Amino acid sequence: MDIKAPRIGVYFCACGETIKDLIHYEKLMEFARSQDGVEHVDKHLLLCSPKSLKRISDEIKEHKLDRIVVAACSPRVYLDEFRGAARRGGINPYMVEQANLREQVAWIHSLDAEEATKKAMDQLTMSIERSRKMRPSEFGPTAVVAEDQCSGCGVCATTCRAGAITFKDIGEGHRVALVDRGECKACGACVAACPSGALNLEGFSNEEIVAEIDAFTEGMLDSKEPHPAILVFACHWCSYPAADLAGLKRLQMDPGFRMIRTPCSARVDPEWVMRALSRGVDGVMVLGGKEGACHYQGGNVKTRNRMTLLMKVIEQLGFDPERFRLEWVNSDEPYRFRSTIEEFVAKIRELGPNPTRAPEEEEKMTSALHHGRDEMVHPAYR
C-alpha cells in the first residue's frame, strides 16, 4: 500500500518581543520552505493567541496539511493549545511536533545570533524529520505491541512499575504481551528494555527518535565540522524543565549541543546512543532526574543500570568512554543543568572530533570498523 507523502505546515513564533533579533527568522523560514513535504510556512508575533490559533486551524484546511511543526517556546508550555488548533483544523492532535527555539536556543545563546540560528536550524530539521514519522493516535502516548514480533519473554512486564502489561495465550504454547492503555503511564521503559523490538511507544516512537538522530548526524561522517557535535537526551519531567528554566534565567552556555526530549530517561534505548556515535556524533549525554525524584518512580534507576552496562559496551567497541555520560538533574536545578552541559562540552572539545569522522588515511581501517557498527543497530531502528 502506498503511503501518502506528508503535507507539513511549519509555524514560527516571535514570542512577542522576548526573542527579537536573537534568531534570524528569515533564514529559518527560507530553510523551512526548502524542505521536502513542507507545504506552508508562516510566522506570528504570538502564536498562542486565539487569533493565531484560529488562523492555524484555517490554514490546515486551506493547505490540506496533515501535520504541523511549531517552532516556538517549550512544548511544556502551549503544546496542548497547538494540538487543539490541529484538531479544529481536522487533523489528529498528536500530529503536532514542537521545536523549542525560545528557552533552549534563543535565550541560552542570546549573545551570538549566528550560532543561535545555526542551532535553531538543526533543532528545526530534527523536528521536521520527526514529524514525518508521526502517526495519528486515538489515545495519545502509550506503549503498543507488535504481536508478530513478541516472544512473550516477560522482560517488559518485569520492567513496568504500573502493572500495565499482562499476557495472552495465542495458541501452541505461545503468549504475547498485552498493554492496558488505561494503566500505561507512557514512560517507555518497557520499550527500551524489549529484546525483540516488539514494543513501541506512540508519541515517542522508535521511528520518531531515530529520525531526529539521523537528521542531526546527516553527513557527519564526511566532515570534522561542526565540532563539538553533542546529542543530549533529556527527561520531559526532570532535566528538560531544568533546561527551560536555564533559558528563563538567560543562563548562557556553549551552543555545541542539541536536545532530544524523551518522556523519561528510561525511554532512552542504548541502540540510540550507539547509533549516534556510529554516525559521527562527538558525544552523547543522557540526563535523568535524581534518585527519588523520578516522575515514574524508579525510571532513573532502570536508566542507571542499563547505561552502566552500555558504558562497558562502548569501551569494548573502541570508543572513548568519556564520549558518553549519564548525569542527574532535577527540574529545579537550572544551574546544575548549565554546569553539567558546560563540563561535558569542554571535555568533548578536549577529546576532539569523533575518530569516525573524515578519517585520515592511517585512520581509515579503524574508521571502517566504526562504520560497520551501524549494522549492529536493531533492524527496527535502521
**Distance in angstroms (rounded) separating the CA atoms of residues 349 and 229:** 9
Considering the chain, what is the average pLDDT of its residues? Answer: 92
Domain end (from 118, 134, 150): 134
Asked whether residue 252 is assigned to any structural domain, the reply reads yes
| Residues 106 and 9 reside in one and the same domain | yes
Asked whether residue 248 is assigned to any structural domain, the reply reads yes
Q: Residues of the chain with pLDDT > 70: what percent?
A: 93
- Confidence class of residue 309 from pLDDT cuts 50, 70 and 90? confident
Asked whether residue 321 is assigned to any structural domain, the reply reads yes
pLDDT at 211 over 50: yes
Which grid cell sits at 11?
509555524
Q: Which residue has the cell 524523551?
A: 262
**Distance in angstroms (rounded) separating the CA atoms of residues 7 and 40:** 8
User: Residue 20 has what pLDDT?
Assistant: 86
pLDDT at 195 over 70: yes
| Residues 196 and 344 reside in one and the same domain | no
Domain that holds residue 12: 1-134
Burial of 292 (0-12, 13-18, 19+ CB in 10 A): exposed
User: Which long-range contacts (C-beta less than 8 Å, at least 24 apart) are formed by 21-29?
Assistant: 21/113, 22/106, 22/107, 22/109, 22/110, 22/113, 22/116, 23/101, 23/105, 23/106, 23/113, 23/116, 23/117, 23/120, 24/113, 24/114, 24/117, 27/117, 27/121, 28/71, 28/117, 28/120, 28/121, 28/124
Report how far apart, in Å, the C-alpha atoms of 312 and of each of 2, 7, 265, 283, 370 are: 43, 43, 19, 16, 16
For residue 202, the Cα-to-chain-centroid distance in whole angstroms is 14
**Number of domains making up the chain:** 3
**Distance in angstroms (rounded) separating the CA atoms of residues 338 and 8:** 34
Bridging pattern class, strands 96-100 and 165-171 = unpaired
| Residues 315 and 336 reside in one and the same domain | yes
Query: Looking at 67-207, which runs of residues are DSSP E strands?
Result: 67-72, 96-100, 142-145, 165-171, 174-179, 199-202
User: Residue 308 has what pLDDT?
Assistant: 85
User: Residue 361 has what pLDDT?
Assistant: 56
| Residues 19 and 88 reside in one and the same domain | yes
User: Residue 50 has what pLDDT?
Assistant: 97
Asked whether residue 338 is assigned to any structural domain, the reply reads yes
Give backbone dihedrals phi and psi of 38, rounded to 5 degrees, phi first: -85, 110
pLDDT tens profile 355-382: 999 887 555 545 444 445 444 444 444 4
Biggest distance spanned by C-alpha atoms of the chain = 65
| Residues 344 and 269 reside in one and the same domain | yes
- Confidence class of residue 306 from pLDDT cuts 50, 70 and 90? confident
**Distance in angstroms (rounded) separating the CA atoms of residues 64 and 9:** 9
pLDDT at 298 over 80: no
| Residues 278 and 263 reside in one and the same domain | yes
Run of H or E including 43: strand 38-44
User: Residue 123 has what pLDDT?
Assistant: 98
Question: Using an 8 Å Cβ cutoff, are 284 and 231 in contact?
Answer: yes
Bridging pattern class, strands 230-235 and 283-288 = parallel
| Residues 55 and 186 reside in one and the same domain | no
Which grid cell sits at 258?
542539541
pLDDT tens profile 322-341: 999 999 999 999 999 999 99
**Distance in angstroms (rounded) separating the CA atoms of residues 363 and 302:** 37
What pTM value is reported for the model? 0.92
User: Residue 242 has what pLDDT?
Assistant: 98
| Residues 198 and 321 reside in one and the same domain | no
pLDDT tens profile 244-283: 999 999 999 999 999 999 999 999 999 999 999 999 999 9
| Residues 371 and 279 reside in one and the same domain | yes
User: Residue 376 has what pLDDT?
Assistant: 47
Asked whether residue 107 is assigned to any structural domain, the reply reads yes
| Residues 270 and 318 reside in one and the same domain | yes
**Distance in angstroms (rounded) separating the CA atoms of residues 16 and 178:** 47
Asked whether residue 381 is assigned to any structural domain, the reply reads no
**Distance in angstroms (rounded) separating the CA atoms of residues 204 and 146:** 16
Domain end (from 102, 134, 166): 134
User: Residue 311 has what pLDDT?
Assistant: 87
**Distance in angstroms (rounded) separating the CA atoms of residues 378 and 382:** 7
Burial of 226 (0-12, 13-18, 19+ CB in 10 A): middle
Domain end (from 115, 134, 153): 134
What is the mean predicted confidence (pLDDT) over 44-68? Answer: 97
Of 38, 43, 135, nearest in space to 96 by CA: 135
Indicate which CATH number applies to the domain containing 3: 3.40.50
Asked whether residue 380 is assigned to any structural domain, the reply reads no
User: Which long-range contacts (C-beta less than 8 Å, at least 24 apart) are formed by 114-119?
Assistant: 114/24, 115/255, 116/22, 116/23, 116/255, 117/23, 117/24, 117/27, 117/28, 118/226, 118/255, 119/255, 119/258
| Residues 27 and 124 reside in one and the same domain | yes
What is the mean predicted confidence (pLDDT) over 345-353? Answer: 97
Q: 3-class SS at 304?
A: helix
Indicate which CATH number applies to the domain containing 194: 3.30.70.3270
Task: Name the least confident of 83-92, 202-211, 292-301.
Answer: 292-301
Contacts of 208 (CB under 8 A, 6+ apart): 130, 133, 134
User: Residue 370 has what pLDDT?
Assistant: 47
User: Residue 363 has what pLDDT?
Assistant: 54
| Residues 209 and 331 reside in one and the same domain | yes
Asked whether residue 272 is assigned to any structural domain, the reply reads yes
Which grid cell sits at 116?
543561535
pLDDT tens profile 140-190: 899 999 999 999 999 999 999 899 999 999 888 899 999 999 999 999 999
